[in-house]
Amino acid sequence: MLIRRPPGTLPSEITPRSAYLRRREFCKQAAALGLIAPLLAPSGAGAQSLTAPKLPGKSSPFSTKEKHSSYGDITSYNNFYEFGTDKQEPAIYAPKMRTRPWSIAVEGEVKRKGPIDLEELLKLAPMEERIYRLRCVEAWSMVVPWIGYPLAELVRRVEPSSRAKYVAFTTHLDPATMIGLRQPVLNWPYVEGLRLDEAMHPLTLLAFGLYGEVLPNQNGAPVRIIVPWKYGFKSAKSIVKLTFMETEPRTAWNVAAPHEYGFYSNVNPGVDHPRWSQSSERRIGEDGFFTPKRKTLVFNGYAEQVASLYAGMDLKKLF
Amino acid sequence: MRPRATGSAGAGESAPARRARQPRGAQLTAIKSVLFLACLTPFAHLVWGVASDALGANPVEAVTRSLGWWTLFLLCATLSVSPLRRLTGAHWLVRLRRMLGLFAFFYAALHFITFIWLEHWFDIAEMAKDIVKRPFITVGFTAFVLLIPLAATSTDAMQRRLGRSWSRLHRLVYVIGVLGVVHFWWLVKRDVTDPAMFAAAMTLLLGLRLLWTVRDRSSASRAASAGRIV
């Protein structure tokens, strides 16, 4: 009772009418400041944007105690190919994407089909802060304080049928702002997926925030998936659809290069990418010119929690 | 870094090209000095970027990629000298070629150092494994190794000493150029725009040579069979 946040809206959370009327102006300013904030933020410092709306979450025992990557690094070095393949491009182009109104369509092998509005999603379960390691398939890593709640909360609510074995996530498709869609680098829209038991795992997050604030667009606003024991590309950004399926979904990177990116894509130092080693990684903001890269941990250090999901599987074959 | 182009003063040259002004003496020295500084600019920019932490979240990646990119750029620049000379008649351009080639080697060497130092932290065994196991590294490493004899024999004295074999040796730069582009192409994850740009440049530069060689040979043999003095 002491831990639960009081339900409903607190008087302090109600936006004053004058501010509400100036909301578009505020958004424009926020976007403009958001653009330059990563450049202003000294790297290494954990400063927030100071302009994004607050989104607090209670702390979680699942959080790592490692040093957080800086807000500037997390929001300026992004793989979000819809906004270009350069890691600096999403921070430039994504702020123009509209994240309201937003809803997630629920389809497939599920009892409660239909769209769920973002406002409803935000209230579905109490927000938590989960500080997770993020390991990119390109052999770099960060430590990110996400705000969200277990994806399982949403999955339980929509009641998958007994035939549902997988769930696919589809990313938003907005040709007006997503300049990367002009090139067929991947099959658009971006689709990722998990086995249902992976999706239901308590570590798997439906994330809405970062550093106690609403997610910047380049990090997958307004709502994204976080699967900390898999390579970063499995954690789909800016999702608009959940499809519950009986068979393994065709996921973007797996379709693009099946010999390089498996459906599972669990972080595994023992299985190299055909073109580079996965045995070590560079922690952004920490490992640089004067420190060697660090060893990559199996399941990105979450083996204790998730290894049982893959009991009896040959993870060298099902990489 | 390249042999003298065969037949550059021969049949293919047009009349206006022969009239092109050739800078010499102090003028050429000035041009060389400007080029020298221009070639150093990317390096200076990286040094400044590292010192002032201006290279973004992953400065190591930024430095490695930039050094590789400039190596390829300078290889293309080196390979442009002969075709440009032939097309414009500006023979003095060849006086800049050695500097361009040596700067390509300079950036390649720095790029290789990032591999030893930043990628592998001087772990020779890991490095050897990488070179054997990963085709894009095998290819890049080969290209770098092949550049070494070219840089070592770039002096006037070496050129005189080696005579005709100098030209043959320095034709290796064609192979190096191709290997460099393949190295870049194979390492990118998905977006091949940049490697494709270099591939197009390399195809043009090597294609022109092939075309000219074939044409010059056939016109030379035609002239010979017609009994004319060539």
* Nearest Cα to Cα of residue B200 among B189, B191, B208: B208
Q: State the pLDDT at residue A9.
A: 52
What distances in angstroms separate CA A113 from CA A47, A196, A197, one per listed residue?
40, 17, 20
| Residue B21 banded pLDDT, cuts 50, 70, 90 | confident
Which stretches of chain B sit within 8 Å of chain A by CB? 50, 53, 56-61, 118-119, 121, 126, 130, 134-136, 186-187, 189-191, 193
Report pLDDT digits (tens) over B82-135.
999 999 999 999 999 999 999 999 999 999 999 999 888 999 998 999 899 999
β-strand pairing of A58-59 with A128-135:
parallel
Where along chain B do its domains lie? 15-224
Verify whether the Cβ–Cβ distance A138 to B59 is below 8 Å. Answer: no
Above pLDDT 70, what percent of chain A?
85
Of B59, B119, B134, the CB nearest to A288: B59
CATH code: domain A54-66+100-310 is: 3.90.420.10
DSSP annotation of A310: G
pLDDT band at A288 (very low <50, low <70, confident <90, very high): confident
d(CA B42, CA A233): 32
What is the model's pLDDT at position B199?
A: 97
Beta carbons of B137 and B124 less than 8 angstroms apart: no
String of DSSP letters for A37-74: HHHHSPTTS----SSSPB---EE-TT---SPPPPHHHH
Query: How many angstroms separate the first and last alpha carbons of chain B?
Result: 28
Residue B23's pLDDT band (boundaries 50, 70, 90)?
Answer: confident
Check if A187 contacts B (Cβ < 8 Å): no
Contact state of A275 with B187 under an 8 Å Cβ cutoff: yes
A85 at the B interface (CB within 8 A)?
Answer: yes
Picking from B98, B90, B127, B134, the residue whose alpha carbon sits closest to that of residue B112 is B127
Residue with the larger pLDDT of the pair B119 and B144: B144
**From the CA of A82, how many Å to the nearest CA of chain B?**
12
Q: Cα dihedral angle (B135, B141, B143, B145), rounded to 10 degrees?
A: -150
| Residue in B122, B65, B43 with CA at minimum distance from that of residue A291 | B122
Q: Dump pLDDT digits (tens) for A172-201.
A: 999 999 999 998 899 999 999 999 999 999
pLDDT classification of B19: cutoffs 50, 70, 90: low
Query: Does residue B55 register a pLDDT over 60?
Result: yes
Percent pLDDT > 70 in chain B is 90
- Does residue A47 register a pLDDT over 70? no
A183 CA to chain B: closest CA distance, Å?
A: 9
pLDDT digits (tens, 9 = 90+) for A98-154: 999 999 999 999 999 999 999 999 999 999 999 999 999 999 999 999 999 999 999
Residue B57 and residue A87: Cβ atoms within 8 Å? yes
pLDDT band for position A23 (cuts 50, 70, 90): low
Q: Is A185 within 8 Å of chain B by CB? A: yes
List pLDDT tens digits, range B176-202: 999 999 999 999 888 899 999 999 999
Q: Do A43 and B186 touch (CB under 8 A)?
A: no
- Give the pLDDT confidence score for residue B218 in this predicted structure: 87
Q: Which of residues 274-313 of A touch B (CB under 8 A)?
A: 275-277, 282, 284-285, 288-289, 292-293
Q: How sure is the predictor about A37, in pLDDT bands with cuts at 50, 70 and 90? A: very low
**pLDDT per position as a tens digit, A220-253:** 999 999 999 999 999 999 999 999 999 999 999 9
Which helix or strand (DSSP H or E) is residue B225 part of?
Answer: helix B193-225
A138 touches chain B (CB under 8 A): yes
Task: Give the start-to-end residue ranges of the domains of chain A.
Answer: 54-66+100-310
> Mean of the per-residue pLDDT values for chain A?
89
**A31 pLDDT exceeds 70?**
no
Element (H, E) at A153: helix A151-158
Kindly report the CA angle at B15 between B11 and B18, in degrees rounded to 5?
90
pTM as predicted: 0.82
Rounded Cα distance, A217 and A223, in Å = 9
Asked if the model's pLDDT at residue B32 lies above 60, the reply is yes
Do A43 and B57 count as a contact with CB atoms less than 8 A apart? yes
> How many CA atoms lie within 13 Å of A6's alpha carbon, on the beta-carbon side?
6
CA distance B226 to B216: 15
Nearest chain B alpha carbon to A256: B190
Query: Is the separation of the CB atoms in A171 and A207 below 8 Å?
Result: no
Structure tokens at A63: 């959080």
Please state, as a whole number, how many other Cβ atoms lie within 10 Å of the Cβ of residue A289. Answer: 11
Is residue A98 within 8 A of residue A206, CB to CB? The reply is no
CB-CB neighbors (< 8 A) of A72 in chain B = 57
Please give the pLDDT value at position B10.
42
Percent of chain B's residues with pLDDT above 90: 76
What integer best gives the mean pLDDT of chain B?
89
